[in-house]
Structure 1
Amino acid sequence: MITFIGALILLLLGYALYSKFVERVFVINDANPTPAYTKRDNFDFVPMSWWKGSLIQLLNIAGLGPIYGAILGALYGPVAFIWIVIGCIFAGAVHDYFSGMLSMRHNGEQYPSVVGRYLGKNVQRFISVVSLVLMILVAAAFTAGPAQLIAQLTPLSFVAALLLIFGYFVLATVLPVNRIIGKIYPVFGAILLFMAFSIGAALLFSDRTIPNLTLSNLHPGDLPIWPLLMVTISCGAISGFHCTQSPIIARTMKKESDGRKIFYGAMITEGVIALIWAAAGMTFFNGTLGLQEALAAGGPSGVVNEISTTLLGTLGGILAILGVIILPITTGDTALRSSRMILSESLGKFWSMEGKGKVLLITLAVSVPALFLATIDYTFLWRYVGWTNQLVATVMLWTATIYLLKNKKLHWISGIPAMFMTAVVCTYIFYAPEGLGLPYGLSAAIGLSLTAAVLAWYIFQIIKHSRKTTEYHHDAA
């Protein structure tokens, strides 16, 4: 119990203190006009209040991610609390802040274009493909589950439910951001918060004891904490999907000072949600072995339903159904909206067609493969979402680091988490079954060797930009 409460306090302190420090490093200026005004088209670029932007951002980046991922991460025991707190404050929220603010500073540019500015065109081309693949996978993976539940609860077949959901996706993607997303997302965001906080309060006032911190690995399958926990709990700690979503809200910000509340704040809120569900997972079933048995019997959806119904009664059952159906759908639609925006930006130099026709064609181009993938095994899809997601996050952190280096600012705030995530993704791809499936020791050795090479590149970048500063002062003298 003490560990859980302490973790909550640390997350709140992270927002109150560290977010202001990050903001000072970035240096905001509310006198700068934002793209919401300079490029206003009442479609993607339209001013919105910060509180509405925060709730939309929260729902864009969260959905079921900080619920399902946190429950699966709870299999490792209370050590998951450490990753959520440290990952969220020093990596995830920094990642989200820079992805949103750099997009805003560059006229609402999409994530790959921002990457290209600081890491080069080759990296931009690579990450454009990876980002599109990630978002199509997310849209597919987050649609199959709700469609199956709708088919169970209504006369609709799975295929009919799938088509209904994708019909909504297309509508939400081609209409102005304030038409559907701006109106219903704040409501759904409030439902997500109410659901999590209700579970948290019920846990605190129940006779169940939330376990305190132990560094032991309690995973029943004896899977290694590093790097698997860092990929299992992504939403709630750090997630590359977020940097593909931030430009949606960056195009609606009224002033630069809103960025801390919207981007850093939404990530901290997501961390709180993940913390609550991780605690619920390892507490409700009397330990990680009981949680594993519950997951084997009903999957994450069954676990969410059982916890919600038992702790909150009928209300909990309603919230669980709403959550399992609505929340992943609201992640899928913005995934496709971001896909449409990235593809439009990438094709802008080669395709002169403008207007609603182009928007619809590009929307269909990303929706059709997502619809097809949604018909195959969900677990197969999800295995490939994890590593791709964290690879995108790592590239965003390096983008922020080079931006800070070029502007003679404190680059360590993104450089250190970038190095850590580089080690995670380099080791994971060699060890994981969806990767090369090599022995753990060999995977760690290869991963750390690759990380050392990246560290050498980082040191070279520091020296190079230091020399530029010295040369500039010498020439000025």
Structure 2
Amino acid sequence: MITFLFGIILLIVGYFTYGKFVEKVFGVNAKRTTPAFTNQDGVDYLPMNTPKNSLIQLLNIAGVGPIFGPIMGALYGPAAFIWIVVGCIFAGAVHDYLTGMISIRNRGAHLPELAGRFLGKVMKHVVNAFSVLLLLLVGTVFVTAPAGLLHNLMSGWVAMGLILGAIFIYYTLATLLPIDKIIGRFYPIFGALLLISALGVGAGLVITGAPIPELSFVNLHPDNAPIFPLLFLTISCGALSGFHATQTPIISRTTQNEKQGRKIFYGMMIAEGVIAMIWAAAAMSLFNGSTGLNELLANGGPAAIVSEASTLMLGAIGGTLAILGVIILPITSGDTAFRSARMIIADYFKFSQKKVLNRLWIALPLFVISFVLTRVDFTLLWRYFSWANQSTAVIALFVGSMYLYVAKKNYWISLIPGVFMLMATTTYILNAPIGFGLALNFSYVGATIITIILVTLFFYAAKNARRNNIPLEDDVSNWNNVA
């Protein structure tokens, strides 16, 4: 219990200390006009206040990741707490803040455009395809996950089909309509339900004195799966997630002032970390250790853990409300995943999005592909999602590092976590059955060599970029409306 409570305290302290430090390194300009005003189009670009932007950002980034990921990561024991706290403060929140703020400085640009500007034109095309693939995986995972939870509350495959259909109809509306019509109007209510449900489960753990294990670096996984790199890909949202790099530009287009960035981008990642801590603690303490947890996961998946833990902590009625709060998480990230994919594709082809029909031409094929992917095994989808997700985080952290290097600021705040995750994702894809299937020791050596080569290339490119004085931001006086 002490490790759990101390971890949450550290997350809060991290926001007020390291978050402030990161903000100072970046250097906000409260007088600079943001894209919400300069590019206002009534669809994707329009100003909204800080509380609304913060709750929308939280719901955008907090899909099933900070719940399902920590539940599966709980198999490793308290090591999961360490990664959530350290990862959230020094990697995830830094990643989200820099992505959001650099996007604001570049008329709300999405990650592919930022990668093109700071990492080269070839990377723009690579990251564009990679981002759309990731968002399709996210959207699909965040369709099947809430459908599974709702199926636990209801029964029958007919009900399951109706649930999937209803979720896709909602996604269509949320993807096509202006951001203030559904997302801006209902997300604050959903956000309140999310926070109440998570805090309810957390309070239940404390009040009942749940046997939450204390700090330990011992690998408790029943299958003895290696902590590195698997833990750092299993727990992504809640510690560090590249998916967030696809979501923050949505809010960078509605942020009124740069000084609001720390609360919206850094702060909401900290809030997600608290949610992740609560669900990791619930998974560790309520099912007779990692063996019992592993058996329940094998039989019912993370959704079964959510249902059992919510009912145990809050009773039948409170548990149902908590489950509904968890259901809202993936739905409210799935819709913005598709919305973000639409915006990225539109920006790439410079296809105006003011007309509904133009939005529909992009959105419909995405929904069709996603529906086909719902037939794929969830566990397999999650593995590909985890690797694609953390690889995207590496790209975003290197974009932030390049920006800070050229600006002659402290680029180590993003480069260190970027290099660490580059090593982790490379080791994983070299070792995993879905990748090259090499022995773990060979994967470590190969990942080390690849990491050294890529970091060397980064510094070579960064020095050239600084020497050539590449522009770090768009001149607001020359901004034009974009797609």
Relative to the length of structure 2, the TM-score reads: 0.93
Give, as a single letter, the amino acid of the residue that structure 2 aligns with 1:413.
I
Consecutive unaligned residues of structure 1, counting only runs of 5 or more, are 470-477
Name 1:453's counterpart in structure 2. Answer: 453
> What is the TM-score when the length of structure 1 is the normalising length?
0.94
Instruction: Choose from 193, 196, 209 the match for 2:195.
Output: 193
Pairwise CA distance, 1:302: 0.8
Corresponding position of 1:305: 307
Match of 1:204 among 206, 228, 233: 206
Alignment-derived partner of residue 90 in structure 1: 90
Is 1:433 the counterpart of 2:433? The answer is yes
Q: Which moved more, 1:290-299 or 1:395-404?
A: 290-299
2:276 pairs with 1:248: no
The letter for the 2-side match of 1:402 is: M
Q: Please say which of residues 448-457 and 155-164 is displaced more in the overlay.
A: 155-164
The 1:463/1:130 distance shift into structure 2, 3 A limit, reads: closer
Q: 1:18 to 1:185 in 2, by over 3 A?
A: same
Q: Shift of residue 316 of structure 1?
A: 3.2
Q: What whole-Å deviation, never above 9, does each CA across 1:24-79 have from its counterpart, x for those lacking one?
A: 11111111111111111121111111111111101100022101100100100101
CA contact (8 A) 1:397 1:417 kept: yes
The answer (yes or no) to whether the contact 1:308–1:320 under 8 Å persists in 2 is yes
**CA distance in 2: counterparts of 1:291 and 1:232, whole angstroms:** 15
Query: By how many angstroms is 1:117 displaced?
Result: 0.8
Question: Corresponding residue for 1:235?
Answer: 237
Partner letter of residue 53 of structure 1?
A: N
Instruction: Give distance in 1, aligned partners of 2:308 and 2:150.
Output: 18
Cα offsets for 1:157-183 (capped at 9, x unmatched): 433322221111111111010100011
Kept after mapping to 2: 8 A contact 1:423/1:451: yes
- Counterpart secondary structure, 2:370: helix
Q: How many Å separate the matches in 2 of 1:34 and 1:154?
A: 48
**Alpha-carbon offset, residue 457 of structure 1:** 2.2
Deviations 1:369-402 (A, max 9, x none): 1121113322221111000000000000000000
Q: CA deviation at 1:151?
A: 5.1
Q: 1:195 to 1:72 in 2, by over 3 A?
A: same
Q: Mark the CA change 1:159 to 1:315 in structure 2 (over 3 Å): closer, same or farther.
A: closer
Residues 406, 462 of structure 2: 8 Å contact kept: no
The 8 Å contact of residues 301 and 324 in structure 1, kept in 2 or not, is answered as no
> What's the counterpart of residue 360 of structure 1?
360
- Residue type of the partner of 2:87? G
How many angstroms does 1:462 deviate by? 5.7
CA–CA separation in structure 2 for the residues paired with 1:383 and 1:324? 21
Q: Taking structure 1 as reference, are residues 288 and 352 closer, same or farther at Cα in structure 2, changes over 3 Å only?
A: closer
1:277 equivalent in structure 2: 279
1:454 deviation in Å?
1.9
- Residue 40 of structure 1 is matched in structure 2 by 40
One-letter amino acid of the counterpart of residue 23, structure 1: E
Counterpart amino acid of residue 207 in structure 2: F
User: 1:75-474 maps to which residues of 2 (within 5 A)?
Assistant: 75-150=75-150, 153=154, 156-348=158-350, 351=351, 355-461=355-461, 464=464
Once the 2 structures are TM-superposed, how far is the Cα of residue 368 of structure 1 from its aligned partner?
Answer: 1.4
Distance 1:37 1:467 in 2: 33
Q: Which residue of 2 aligns with 1:55?
A: 55
Q: Is the contact made by 1:310 and 1:316 (CA closer than 8 Å) also made in structure 2?
A: no
Distance 1:209 1:255, change over 3 A: same
Q: Is the contact between residue 136 and residue 337 of structure 2 (CA under 8 Å) also seen in structure 1?
A: yes
Letter in 1 for 2:427: T
Change (3 A) 1:325 1:209: closer
Residues 83 and 230, structure 1, Cα contact 8 Å, conserved in 2: yes
Deviation at 1:102, TM superposition (A): 0.9
Task: Answer whether contact 1:141 1:382 (CA < 8 A) is retained.
Answer: yes
Contact residue 19 and residue 264 of structure 1 kept, 8 A: yes
Partner of 1:474 in structure 2? none
Decide whether aligned partners of structure 1 residues 467 and 171 sit closer, same or farther in structure 2, where only a CA change above 3 A counts. Answer: closer
Structure 1 equivalent of residue 472 of structure 2: none
Deviations 1:329-378 (A, max 9, x none): 11111000000000000111xx5786221111111122211121113322
Shift in CA distance, 467/136, structure 1 to aligned 2, threshold 3 Å: closer
String of CA shifts for 1:425-455, please: whole Å, max 9, x gaps. 1101011121122111111111111111123
* 1:203–1:431 Cα change, 3 Å: same
Query: Which shifted more, 296-305 or 397-406?
Result: 296-305
Give the corresponding residue for 1:29.
29
Deviates more, 1:97-106 or 1:154-163: 154-163
Name whichever of 236-245 and 453-462 sits farther off: 453-462
Between the aligned partners of 2:312 and 2:413, the Cα distance in structure 1 is 42
